[in-house]
Structure 1
Amino acid sequence: MPPRPVALAFDVLDTLFPLGPLEWRFREAGIPRVLMTRWIDHVLRDTFALALLGGDRSFEDVARGSLRDITGHQIAPAAEDSIIEGMSRLEPRREAAAAVTAAREAGLRVVTLANGDELPTRELLERAGLLDLVEGVFGGASAGAWKPAAAPYLAAARVLGVEPRELGLVTAHGWDVGGARRAGLVTGWSAHLEGRFPAVFPEPDVSGRDLDQVVKALLAL
């Protein structure tokens, strides 16, 4: 069994904050609901590619470019702005605050580690009342690369002053578990998004049906 971590990094989009509520903004823009899933997949594809290629694009650049691509560049500027704005107005999962609080009360340092840009992520956390519960907000830009490249995970550990094996990741993405494990982190996977852990990645150190269960399992190491 891995050691109990001394700090936890929570992924943000679709882990702490579900993207599902953006559907009504797609409907309002006249964009078929099915294209929302395609958009999310497109964003992930391009961030993964840029994690390998490098570059100075922001997460917002990728999100906007993906919206234009999936709609054949037919999306109205106002609709595009509405969807991007919606990403800063997402509501957290019902157990998100309790999971973060449980980690803090157990003496663990807590940060977020997302591919999103740091300022919008900070604003998202503040609107949800979660900003005061975390010690830091880390994004791909500060590390010079995006997850699942090793750099963001290692940068978070370095800033916290801990070894990678002392940092735990809480995420709902199998690919995120794969990246964190390769970087040497302890991994916790919540099944609320994918249901079954993707078979192509190494199994997480702990798993649970939601964030609360995952944090409890990490604290029990």
Structure 2
Amino acid sequence: MSLEEVPGRLAERGHPASLFEPWFTRAVRDGMALAAAGGYRSFDEICAAALRDITGEEVGQETIDHVLRGWDRFRAHADVLPALEELRSAGVRVIGLTTGNAEVISGFFAHNGMSDHVEAVLSCADVGAWKPAPAAYRYATTWLDLAPEQVALVAAHAWDCHGAKRAGLRTGWVSRLEGRYNPTFDPADTTADDLPTLVRDLLKPTR
């Protein structure tokens, strides 16, 4: 999902577009911190609190709704559909696992003509733990009725690959967001600059 529209939405409500990165980074940090301490709050709750925190203002609900709603209409990166088509051709099941709202992400896939390629979208809300908590990845493998080593997570965040790896999954990291894989984390099984290449690497037989 491309979040390129979000900075503009912040600007439309009087906040600098440059606020997007520190705001979203703080929201992800806070969700992870809650998970590490055994707690949970929804994606919307955490994003709203982070926006109020970083602006130092009592941001109104209308502004929060304006920024957070409509994400199901965002565009997909151009390499997503070709990668999904390769997976379908190979007979691989595909699900989404989100820290956000499953209905929003399902709508995103539908809006981008990808619903036929995605079996389901699962939300961390169902288990009360943000990724990279192990429970989030176990939820996905249990839903699929597969052993962790039979499942691969594809992500643009090194921390997400680290969490999945620790939970026993195979992992693939695409470089478009972070550029460089953070060596603090366990290495992904494969990395690539685009999703089709990443998928082809994951589909290769393992020794």
Do both share a fold (TM > 0.5)?
yes
Q: So what's the TM-score if we normalise by structure 2? A: 0.93
Which among 175, 195, 207 is matched to residue 179 of structure 2? 195
> Is 2:125 aligned against 1:141?
yes
The one of 83, 92, 106 equivalent to 1:108 is 92
Match of 1:95 in 2: 79
Q: State the distance in 1 between where 2:10 and 2:2 align.
A: 15
TM-score of the superposed pair, with normalisation by structure 1: 0.87
User: Per-residue CA shift, 1:47-95, capped at 9, x if unaligned?
Assistant: 1012123345211111111111111124343322111114332111011
Report the more deviating stretch, 55-64 or 138-147: 55-64
Gaps of 5+ in 2: none
- Give the distance between the partners of 2:84 and 2:17, measured in 1 at CA: 32
1:32 aligns with 2:9: no
* Equivalent residue number for residue 177 of structure 1: 161
Name the aligned partner's letter for residue 36 of structure 1: F
- Say if 1:56 and 1:192 are closer, same or farther in 2 by CA, change over 3 A: closer
Q: Which amino acid aligns with 2:133?
A: A
Contact 2:72 2:106 (C-alpha < 8 Å) held by counterparts: no
In the comparison of the two structures, how many residue pairs are matched?
Answer: 205
Aligned partners of 1:22 and 1:86 also within 8 Å: no
- Partners of 1:114 and 1:138 within 8 A in 2: yes
Query: Does the 8 A contact of 1:140 with 1:147 survive in 2?
Result: yes
- 1:131 and 1:58 map into 2 onto residues whose CA distance is 24
Q: 1:53 aligns to what?
A: 37
- The one-letter code of the counterpart of 1:179 is G
The answer (yes or no) to whether the contact 1:25–1:86 under 8 Å persists in 2 is no
1:209 alignment counterpart: 193
* Residues 1:21 and 2:1 aligned together: no
Question: Aligned residues: percent identity?
Answer: 38
> C-alpha offsets along residues 13-55 of structure 1, whole Å, 9 cap, x if unaligned?
xxxx022221211221221122100111111111101212334
CA RMSD of aligned residues (A): 1.5
Query: What is the DSSP-based 3-state SS (H/G/I as helix, E as strand, rest coil) of the residue aligned with 2:75?
Result: coil
Moved more, 51-60 or 108-117: 51-60
Counterpart pick for 1:168 among 152, 174, 181: 152
Q: C-alpha distance in 1, partners of 2:31/2:109?
A: 22
Give yes or no for the alignment of 1:63 onto 2:47: yes
The residue number in structure 1 matching 2:202 is 218
